[in-house]
Amino acid sequence: MHDQECLSNLEAYDYWSMDAENEIRLLTVYPADSPTDPLSCSLTHHSRRSAPEYEALSYTWGDRELPKTVICDGRRLEVTANCESALRTLRSAGASVVWVDAICIDQGDASERSSQVAIKGEIFRHAKRTLIYLGEIGEVDDRGVFEVSRGDARLEGEGVEGVGPGRWIDEPRRR
């Protein structure tokens, strides 16, 4: 098992460039023996038109000052604590292929970020389902849940349900 010190010794993750107008990256989250094992994942590029089935994750980024580390393709990738918590919850729920904006978009490349944000709605529409992570139990009050459910017309009256050990809104895709 890796601890934070071991993880910090890994080489930093470098994004491969992609055609940001015609491709997306998808994150594969690998299972673990223990919920406390480090998150291990890989990123792959796919044509927007022929991407495999995936789930899209929406969450609040949270504090960027105290990043957490995940292992991506054998390298160190820093994410916010909220992102790490959401990915751990997804891993425990059995999800494997997801689109997560903070990871699947190279945040250090302004041109890519701009192109990908422009197609973000399409990315969410083509997902098998959209998962909205609201934080760990006890971290989110009822007002936060209300704002998310009232702020998105697609969720109102659509039988949105909570899943997983954290706080979720789960919206299955209707095709």
Domain ranges of the chain: 4-172
pLDDT the model gives residue 134: 80
Report pLDDT for 14: 94
88 near 37, Cβ under 8 Å?
Answer: no
Bridge partners of 144? none
pLDDT at position 163, please?
39
Q: Block means of pLDDT (10 residues each) for the chain, length 175 residues?
A: 64 93 96 91 95 91 83 94 91 87 95 95 92 71 39 40 44 46
Output the 3-class SS for the chain: CCCHHHHHCCCECCCCCCCCCCEEEEEEECCCCCCCCCCEEEEEEEECCCCCCCEEEEECCCCCCCCEEEEECCEEEEECHHHHHHHHHHHHHCCCEEEEHHHHCCCCCHHHHHHHHHCHHHHHHHCCEEEEEEECCCCCCHHHHHHHHHHCCCCCCCCCECCCCCEEEEEECCC
Please report the pLDDT score of residue 158 as a whole number. Answer: 37
